[in-house]
Homo-oligomer: A and B are copies of this chain.
Amino acid sequence: MNLDTLKLFCDVVRLRSFSRAASGNGVTQSAASQAMQQLEAELDVPLLDRSRRPLVATEAGRVFFEACRDLLQGFEDARASLRASKERVEGTVRVAAIYSVGLHDMSRHMQPFMSAHPQARVLLECLHPHKVVQAVLNDEADVGVLSYPTATRTLNVLPLRSEAMVLVTHPSHRLARRKQITPGDLTGEKFVAFDRDLAVRKAIDRALKQHGVKVEVVMEFDNVETIKQAIGIAAGVSILPRPTVVMESGMRTLATVPLALSGLARPIGLIYRRGKRLTPAVARFIDTLRRADDASEDTR
Residues of chain B within 8 A (CB-CB) of A247 are none
Query: Would you list 17 pairs from A and B whose C-beta atoms are within 8 A, ordered by A residue?
Result: A1-B2, A1-B4, A1-B75, A2-B3, A3-B3, A45-B85, A49-B139, A51-B273, A51-B274, A51-B275, A51-B276, A52-B139, A60-B86, A63-B82, A64-B78, A64-B82, A71-B74
A71-B75 in contact (CB<8A): yes
- Dominant secondary structure at the A interface: helix
Q: Identify which of B64, B70, B85 contacts A60 (C-beta below 8 A).
A: B85
Q: Is A79 an interface position by the 8 A CB rule?
A: yes
For the complex formed, measure the closest distance between the CB of A32 and the CB atoms of chain B, giving whole angstroms: 18
The size class of the interface chain A forms with chain B is 35 or more
Give how many copies assemble into the complex. Answer: 2
Residues of chain B within 8 A (CB-CB) of A74 are 67, 70-71, 74
Q: Is A210 an interface position by the 8 A CB rule?
A: no
Residues of chain B within 8 A (CB-CB) of A273 are 51
Q: Is A89 an interface position by the 8 A CB rule?
A: yes
Given contacts A78-B64, A273-B51, A276-B51, contact A85 B71 (CB under 8 A): no
A89-B60 in contact (CB<8A): yes
4 nearest interchain CB pairs? A67-B78, A51-B275, A1-B3, A45-B86
